[in-house]
Structure 1
Amino acid sequence: MKVIDFNCDVGEGVENEHLLMSYISSCNIACGGHFGDEKSIDETIQLAIENKVKIGAHPSFPDKKNFGRKIMNISDEDLKKSIVFQLDLFQKCLEKKNEKLHHIKAHGALYHLIAKDKKAATVFVNTIKKYVEKAYLYVPYNSEIEKVAIENNINIKYEAFADRNYKNDLSLVSRTESNAVISNPTKVYEHVLNMIQNDRVKTVSNSLIKIKADTFCIHGDNQNALEILQEVTALLKTQNIQIA
Structure 2
Amino acid sequence: MAAIDLNSDLGESYGAWRMGDDKTMLSVVSSANVACGFHAGDPVGILETLRAAAERGVEIGAHVSYPDRVGFGRRDMDVASHELFADVIYQIGALQGLAASVGATVRYVKPHGALYNRIATDARQAADVIGAIKEIDPNLVLMGLAGSPILNQAREAGLSVVAEAFADRAYTPSGALVSRREPGAVLHDPELIASRMLRLAREGVIEAVDGSAIKIEAQSICVHGDSPGAVAIAQQIRQTFEREGIAVRSFLPSKQLS
TM-score normalised according to structure 1 size: 0.96
Aligned to 2:147: 142
Q: Is the 8 A contact 1:159 1:213 kept in 2?
A: yes
Deviation string for 1:101-124 (max 9, x for gaps)? Answer: 121000000000000111111111
Q: Is the 8 A contact 2:107 2:140 kept in 1?
A: yes
Q: Displacement, 1:36?
A: 1.8
User: Which of 239, 244, 247 is 1:239 aligned to?
Assistant: 244
Cα distance between partner residues in 1 of 2:96 and 2:160? 19
Ranges of 4+ aligned residues in structure 1 off by more than 4 Å? none
User: Which of 216, 221, 235 is 2:221 aligned to?
Assistant: 216
Q: Displacement, 1:24?
A: 0.4
User: Which of 13, 25, 29 is 1:24 aligned to?
Assistant: 29
Q: Give the helix-richer structure, 1 or 2.
A: 1
2:27 counterpart SS class: helix
Considering only aligned residues, what root-mean-square deviation do their CA atoms show, in Å? 1.3
Q: State the identity %.
A: 34
Deviation string for 1:198-242 (max 9, x for gaps)? Answer: 111210011111111111000001111111122221122121111
Aligned length: 244
Cα distance between partner residues in 2 of 1:50 and 1:92? 17
Cα distance between partner residues in 2 of 1:50 and 1:70? 34
Cα distance between partner residues in 2 of 1:149 and 1:64? 27
User: Which of 67, 70, 80 is 1:65 aligned to?
Assistant: 70
Note the 1:11-160 alignment, pairs <5 A: 11-13=11-13, 14-160=19-165
Aligned to 2:10: 10
2:235 is matched by which residue type in structure 1?
Q
In structure 2, stretches of 5+ residues that fail to align are 14-18, 250-258
Which has the larger displacement, 139-148 or 164-173? 139-148
TM-score normalised according to structure 2 size: 0.91
Q: Is the 8 A contact 1:162 1:217 kept in 2?
A: yes
Q: Displacement, 1:142?
A: 2.1
Cα distance between partner residues in 2 of 1:41 and 1:167? 33
Q: Is the 8 A contact 2:198 2:240 kept in 1?
A: no
Q: Is the 8 A contact 1:132 1:154 kept in 2?
A: no
In structure 1, stretches of 5+ residues that fail to align are none
